[in-house]
């Protein structure tokens, strides 16, 4: 019985030491999961805001103030829908006539956009893109990936 008590005495703090060794790993994994999930949420929100703004721009008539006012209205729409993630200055919005090689706002022309099957003329295209840096933190390192979203939509009002 004396021998058993001696063995238990030597192993008494082993669980605490093991916990102290494993705790930083568990905390870093949880922090990584949390910040990674938040970055993924930001990406989804950014894509949704960009897509909705492109749809908004596709149906928005160019105001009497001209195309600059139209661009600003679409940019503001992305900023409003993003829930404060981006400002209108981080958004590029343009209304173009596709040529097959037009890359306005960093968005390539969609396939087949250079000729509208109903009129046999190029259909106008709304292009919206957003670029935003985010931060993913782990205990030992930090990543700052760039989130981006690019959308092209057919303009529903014939102006160009």
Q: Is 107 exposed, middle or buried (0-12, 13-18, 19+ CB in 10 A)?
A: buried
pLDDT of residue 64: 86
- Element (H or E) spanning 125, and its range? strand 125-133
Whether the per-residue pLDDT at 158 is higher than 70: the answer is no
Residue 160's pLDDT band, with cuts at 50, 70 and 90, is: very low
**Residues 45, 82: contact at Cβ < 8 Å?**
yes
Cα separations (Å) of 96 from 13, 41, 110? 71, 31, 12
123 closest CA partner among 159, 69, 91: 159
Question: In this model, does residue 35 exceed pLDDT 90?
Answer: no
* pTM passes above 0.85: no
Find all residues with CB under 8 Å of 137, minimum gap 6, and list them: 31, 32, 35, 143
Q: What is the DSSP secondary structure assignment for residue 115, as one 8-state letter?
A: S
Give the domain ranges of the chain: 2-154
72-86: average pLDDT: 91
Give the rounded percent of residues in the chain with a pLDDT score beyond 90.
Answer: 31
Residue 7 confidence (pLDDT) above 60: no
Mean pLDDT of the chain: 83
| Helix ranges (DSSP H) in the chain | 2-10, 14-59, 67-81
């Amino acid at each position: 019985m004396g021998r058993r008590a001696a063995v238990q005495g030597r192993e008494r703090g082993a669980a605490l030491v093991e916990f102290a060794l494993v705790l930083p790993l568990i905390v870093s994994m949880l922090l990584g999961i949390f910040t990674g999930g938040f970055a993924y949420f930001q990406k989804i929100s950014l894509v949704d805001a960009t897509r909705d703004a492109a749809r908004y721009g596709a149906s928005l008539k160019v105001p009497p103030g001209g195309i600059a006012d139209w661009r600003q209205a679409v940019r503001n729409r992305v900023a409003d829908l993003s829930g404060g993630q981006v400002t209108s200055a981080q958004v590029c919005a343009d209304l173009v006539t596709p040529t097959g090689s037009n890359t306005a706002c960093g968005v390539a022309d969609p396939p087949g956009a250079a000729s509208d099957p109903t009129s046999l003329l190029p259909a106008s295209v709304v292009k919206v893109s957003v670029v935003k840096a985010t931060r993913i933190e782990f205990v030992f390192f930090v990543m700052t990936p760039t989130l981006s979203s690019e959308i092209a939509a057919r303009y529903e009002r014939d102006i160009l």
